[in-house]
Structure 1
Amino acid sequence: MFGATILVAGCGNSGDSAHIATPATTPAVSDQTDDAPAPAPGTQPRVTILATGGTIAGKANDNSAVGYTAGEASAQDLIDAVPGLDKIATLHAEQIANIGSQDMNDEVWLKLADRINQLFTDNAADGVVITHGTDTIEETAFFLDHVVASDKPVVLVGSMRPSTALSADGPANLRSAVQVAAARDARNRGALVVLNDTIHTARDVTKTNTTSVQTFVSPNAGPEGFVDAAAVRFTKPAARQARAHFQVPGSAPMPRVDIVYSHAGMNADQVHDAIGHGAKGIVLAGVGDGNTSEEVVDALSDAAHHGVVVVRSSRVGSGTTVRNAEVNDDQLGTVSALDLNPAKARVLTQLLLVNNITDAGQVQQQFAAR
């Protein structure tokens, strides 16, 4: 039914065998798959590039030796900077936004989700690439992973250096992202993030370095695969069954969910402030295994027992926040984020609130399933 690939650019199961990829659907709040046929032999896959700005579209300024202004180059500028890109796929470019990813917001997320779903529903693309700033690319990828109702590839890409840098990484990253979006084996993997010749899933990827081109890693699961000029190679098999997706929220903003960052000598002011400003959910970026001071634990428990969804995550860069280990979640009314970092735990909590899933037990089931 559908046959397009969408590439989004911007700043599963494990297995031992590698899979060489070629190009690739699913409806919202559904686990069905469209089973769209791949492009006929001898025809190019269709990839739509949705640009949102970020460093990949940035140009140098005079602020400092490494200063630049994000979101200066257009989607077409990015395509023109990569010779031979049209030999990989038939390309169509659209400008969704032109902002630094520090300014990414719910409104742009909804625009992206609606546009991607429409492209796939209309069979207008075999894959989508989204250009995006790297600072919040993992959050956008995680959101789209849960609301795009298709098994076709959605690939987010960015760069650590602006387009005018001496050794800009954006053009090579964009080429890699288009290759992945055009690869049939990229289907049934959810949203992917591609930078520095490496493919990551939206659930596992995180940024780990402020400036290095090797900043993105998947600390708990490892990368999903690798890409070079010759081939796309997946190191894990694609999912055998499509996952359920949420409906795209009807309007922005989504319910407010604040992240409270734990530290030594912490009091409960952040918790009280979040509640006072209307937070419907609170994610604790806790020390160690999602822990915090006794005063803050008491405040979070009180919030949970008064209808606020409270999720314990960790400020540590890897590992799992274990339920009922250092604190008694059952007694406190709190939820463990498991291996989701605070930023992604916040996004999932927002989506659950939109769908009126607020009971701690049900919320915990969703965190375990996704």
Structure 2
Amino acid sequence: GPANLAAALAVAADPACRDLGVLVVLADEIHAARHARKTHTTSVATFASPGAGPLGHVVEGAPRILFRPAAPAAAGPLTLDPEVRIALITLSQGDRGELLDAVDHRFQGLVVAAFGAGHAPAWLVEPLAALARRIPVVLASRTGAGPTLTDTYRGPGSEYDLLRHGLVPAGPLDPAKARILLHALLSSGAAGPGGYDRPRITAAFAHLNGAGLA
């Protein structure tokens, strides 16, 4: 409503809010877009930033910034090529991998919303590894908050096992955001006839996880 619009305009016009990246303003809370997600279908306070919290608040029409996030600089404008198709598959109990079969040769990339901190049933490791040899497969968590781990669990189907088989960790990004980043990377040259640039894709996700940021 008008109050949300007024708060958003106040944030956009305030010099203190410069260089914070893309922001979401709702119910007098200021969120970094890369952390924000909608958490309720009808609540007026639907936006939250799991694991981070709001950057600040709008009080009596004036923004009050509580902290400034480390903001990785983009190499250039992000583009999303409509010809690049990225699949998103959420694993579920008893999953036998039939949807993975549908991805092969139809999509240029895949995001897997896995259990917990990035786990999959042991019988899906080889099908995922086979896909990762041909297209980028990003490992995200379906839980809604917290980062994908890299080296805590080591059993079959653990995050360590999956990454060892070629998957790329999504870091703090939820599956939907990971899909957007992968789409942007593949649209800007991280894919080609001879395969895909796994080091570049891995580095981009690691950068958003805080690697190399002051």
Contact 2:132 2:167 in 1 (8 A): yes
Matches within 5 A, 1:16-55: none
Q: Is structure 2 residue 71 aligned with structure 1 residue 244? A: no
- Under a length normalisation based on structure 2, what TM-score does the superposition of the two structures give? 0.85
Q: Does residue 356 in structure 1 map to residue 186 in structure 2? A: no
Which residue of 127, 136, 139 corresponds with 1:312? Answer: 139
Output one character per residue of 1:148-171: Cα deviation in whole Å (capped at 9) or x when no partner: xxxxxxxxxxxxxxxxxxxxxx21
Deviation at 1:316, TM superposition (A): 0.3
CA distance in 2 between counterparts of 1:193 and 1:203 reads 9
Please tell me whether the aligned partners of residues 263 and 292 of structure 1 are also in contact (alpha carbons under 8 angstroms).
no
| Separation in 2, partners of 1:228, 1:356 | 44
Aligned CA RMSD, in angstroms, stands at 1.9
Name the counterpart of 1:338.
171
CA distance in 1, matches of 2:143, 2:103: 22
Name the amino acid aligned to 1:247: P
Tell whether the 8 Å contact from 1:173 to 1:195 is kept in structure 2 after alignment.
yes
2:128 match: 300
User: Of the two structures, which has the highest relative contact order with CA contacts closer than 8 Å and spacing of 6 or more?
Assistant: 1
- The alpha-carbon deviation at position 202 of structure 1 amounts to 1.2
- Which 5+ residue runs of structure 2 have no aligned equivalent? 191-195, 209-214
Q: Which residue of 1 aligns with 2:51?
A: 220
Corresponding residue number in structure 1 for 2:42: 211
What do the CA deviations read for 1:158-200 (whole angstroms, capped 9, x no partner)? xxxxxxxxxxxx2111111111111111110110011111000
Paired AA for residue 342 in structure 1: P
What residue in structure 1 maps to residue 101 of structure 2? 272
Please say if residues 185 and 238 of structure 1, whose CA atoms lie closer than 8 Å, have aligned partners that are also in contact.
Answer: no
Say whether the 8 Å CA contact 1:285–1:342 is kept in structure 2. yes
Gap regions ≥5 residues in structure 1: 1-169
Given that 1:288 and 1:314 are in contact with CA atoms closer than 8 Å, whether structure 2 keeps it comes out as yes
Distance 2:115 2:140 in 1: 9
Give the number of equivalent residue pairs: 197
Deviations 1:253-280 (A, max 9, x none): 151111101110001111111224x211
Label 1:260 to 1:193 Cα distance change in 2 as closer, same or farther (>3 A). Answer: same
Residue matched to 1:253:
82
Which amino acid in 2 is paired with 1:346?
R
Compute the displacement of 1:359 (Å).
Answer: 2.8
Normalised to the residue count of structure 1, the TM-score between the two structures is 0.50
Q: Which amino acid aligns with 2:185?
A: L
Alignment pair present for 1:284 and 2:112: yes
Distance in 2 of aligned mates of 1:243 and 1:294:
38
Aligned-partner residue type, residue 178 of structure 2: A
Identity, % of aligned positions: 37
Distance in 2, matches of 1:245 and 1:362, equals 12
State how far apart, in whole Å, the 1-side matches of 2:136 and 2:64 are.
Answer: 40
The separation in 2 between residues aligned to 1:252 and 1:242, in whole angstroms, is 23
Larger radius of gyration: 1
* 8 Å Cα contact 1:205-1:218 kept in structure 2: yes
Distance 1:174 1:245, change over 3 A: farther
The question of 1:322 aligning with 2:142 is answered: no
Return the offset for 1:285: 0.7
SS in 2 for 1:365: helix
